[in-house]
């Protein structure tokens, strides 16, 4: 039985930052994640994708953000159960919880923080007859290593941020990038739309809209695609090495949905934004997995939610103690490993 103060389900950025905030309160954390490494989607799906809205970082790759978070929480020595899915939960007589994974590993804690992002997920796939034939043979639903596409002819389909961002990114790597979308309008950030238009004008991206991919062709691997313009019904046949449909993810909460939590549109409803506690006292939901009025699915919002959650968790664990918050600029950071980070103290000299 693994025992800890806060059991965090989900080792994405929000879950990792919760370890730091809990550590400042001298609370130990253990994390469970179905993926084989920490970092959530940032590590598994788009480690090389740049993120632009992390305070203090004009641009940071998703994988680098995870590496930085792992370095930040190292002094607090979190435990990890990776490659296992949180399956069952049981409340004990003392008010603590026991969470058992699909492999039978048991964890006990007075506080559960669900930071599972979108939960378990699978890509939304286009309805193409022979799509499975070319999976991993030219067809991929996510980009883990952009170098795979160096000097290749790449076709991306989609109209959201991922399709736009990867088209921009691969324009510097692939020999040819084509972006196909069924509408003329895109759903992504305006800056990204404008950048794609600039790259099209420069001849660095082929933009085919409104259109959709209707056929995949090849023998041992993908060699060609058929594209149909939805405005004229004209068919275009294009030689490609890779086809990457980026139509988003279909999220599923998995076994957590059966824990008695209040669910709204495949997300966990939290009672308030004071501490992001669920309808079950002692169980919190932070990050993309939760929902409440005004919710924004942003990493920086998850960091905020993790901070308030840890403050509330401390009060639940130590109801008779009054915690006085100290800024890290004043109190520094004291790790469980004996390390200490603090600002140098000013030296006051007497004046003769």
List of residues 6+ apart from 163 with CB closer than 8 A: 156, 157, 179, 181, 186, 188, 246
Kindly report the length of the chain: 352
Largest CA distance in the chain: 91
Q: What are the backbone angles phi and psi of residue 97, rounded to the nearest 5°?
A: -120, 150
Q: Is 291 annotated as a binding residue?
A: no
pLDDT in tens, 202-241: 999 999 999 999 999 999 999 999 999 999 999 999 999 9
pLDDT in tens, 100-132: 998 999 999 999 999 987 665 567 899 998 999
Strand order in the sheet with 267-269: 263-264, 267-269, 290-291
Q: Is 202 annotated as a binding residue?
A: no
Reported as type and span, the H/E element at residue 308 is: helix 299-317
Q: How far apart are CA 97 and CA 263, in angstroms?
A: 20
Q: Is 334 annotated as a binding residue?
A: no
At 349, the pLDDT band (50, 70, 90 cuts) reads: low
Q: If we measure between CA atoms, which residue out of 142, 274, 270, 158 comes closest to residue 208?
A: 158
* Tokens representing residue 301 in the block: 């919002």
Domain parsing of the chain, residue ranges: 2-121+250-341, 125-247
Q: How far apart are CA 32 and CA 79, in angstroms?
A: 9
Q: If we measure between CA atoms, which residue out of 181, 128, 174 comes closest to residue 154?
A: 174
Domain 125-247 -> CATH class: alpha beta
Strand order in the sheet with 235-239: 211-217, 224-229, 235-239
At 327, the pLDDT band (50, 70, 90 cuts) reads: confident
Q: Is 33 annotated as a binding residue?
A: yes
At 347 the pLDDT is: 64
Q: Identify any residues that bridge with 249 across adjacent strands, giving them in sequence order.
A: 123
Q: If we measure between CA atoms, which residue out of 2, 24, 17, 64 comes closest to residue 298?
A: 17
pLDDT over threshold 60, residue 274: yes
pLDDT over threshold 70, residue 273: yes
pLDDT over threshold 70, residue 337: yes
Instruction: Evaluate whether 2-121+250-341 and 125-247 have a shared fold.
Output: yes
Q: Is 105 annotated as a binding residue?
A: no
79 CA to centre of own chain: 20
Region of 310 (left: φ > 0; alpha: ψ -120 to 50; beta: rest) is alpha
In this structure, which topology does domain 2-121+250-341 adopt according to CATH? Answer: FAD/NAD(P)-binding domain (3.50.50)
pLDDT in tens, 11-60: 999 999 999 999 999 999 999 998 878 988 787 667 778 889 999 999 99
Q: How far apart are CA 12 and CA 289, in angstroms?
A: 11
pLDDT in tens, 51-84: 899 999 999 998 899 999 999 999 999 999 998 8
Whether the model clears a pTM of 0.75, i.e. scores above it, the answer is no
Q: Is 41 annotated as a binding residue?
A: yes
Q: Is 149 annotated as a binding residue?
A: no
SS3 60: strand
At 338, the pLDDT band (50, 70, 90 cuts) reads: confident
Q: Are residues 283 and 97 in contact, defined by beta-carbon separation less than 8 angstroms?
A: yes
Q: Are residues 222 and 243 in contact, defined by beta-carbon separation less than 8 angstroms?
A: yes
Q: Is 14 annotated as a binding residue?
A: yes
Q: In 158-177, which positions are buried (b, 16+ CB within 10 angstroms) versus exposed (e)?
A: bbbbbbbbbbbbbbeebebb
pLDDT in tens, 295-310: 999 999 999 999 999 9
């Amino acid at each position: 039985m693994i025992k800890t103060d806060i059991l965090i389900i989900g080792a994405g950025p929000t879950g990792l930052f919760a370890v730091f905030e809990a550590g400042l309160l001298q609370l130990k954390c253990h994390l469970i994640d179905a993926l084989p490494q920490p970092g959530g989607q940032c590590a598994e799906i788009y480690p090389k994708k740049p993120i632009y809205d992390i305070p203090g970082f004009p641009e940071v790759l998703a994988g680098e953000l995870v590496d930085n978070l792992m370095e930040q929480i190292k002094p607090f020595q979190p435990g990890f159960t990776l490659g296992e899915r949180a399956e069952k939960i049981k409340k004990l007589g003392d008010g603590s919880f026991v969470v058992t994974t699909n492999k039978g590993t048991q964890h006990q804690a007075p506080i559960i923080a669900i930071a599972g992002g979108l939960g378990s997920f699978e890509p939304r796939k286009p309805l193409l007859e022979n799509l499975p034939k070319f999976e991993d043979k030219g067809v991929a639903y996510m980009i883990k290593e952009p170098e795979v596409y160096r000097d290749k002819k790449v076709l991306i389909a989609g109209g959201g941020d991922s399709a736009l961002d990867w088209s921009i990114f691969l324009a510097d790597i692939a020999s040819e990038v084509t972006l196909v979308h069924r509408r003329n309008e895109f759903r992504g950030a305006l800056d990204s739309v404008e950048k794609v238009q600039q790259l099209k004008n420069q001849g660095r991206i082929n933009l085919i809209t409104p259109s959709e991919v209707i056929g995949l062709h090849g023998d041992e691997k993908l060699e060609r695609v058929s594209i149909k313009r939805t405005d004229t019904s004209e068919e275009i046949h294009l030689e490609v090495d890779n086809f990457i449909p980026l139509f988003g993810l279909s999220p599923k909460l998995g076994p957590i949905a059966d824990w008695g939590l209040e669910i709204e549109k495949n997300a966990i409803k939290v009672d308030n934004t004071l501490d992001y506690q669920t309808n079950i006292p002692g169980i919190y939901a932070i990050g993309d997995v939760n929902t409440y009025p005004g919710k924004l699915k942003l990493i920086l919002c998850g960091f905020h939610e993790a901070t308030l959650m840890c403050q509330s968790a401390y009060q639940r664990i130590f109801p008779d103690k009054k915690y006085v918050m100290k800024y890290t600029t004043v109190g520094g950071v004291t790790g469980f490993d004996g390390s200490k980070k603090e600002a140098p103290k000013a030296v006051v000299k007497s004046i003769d």
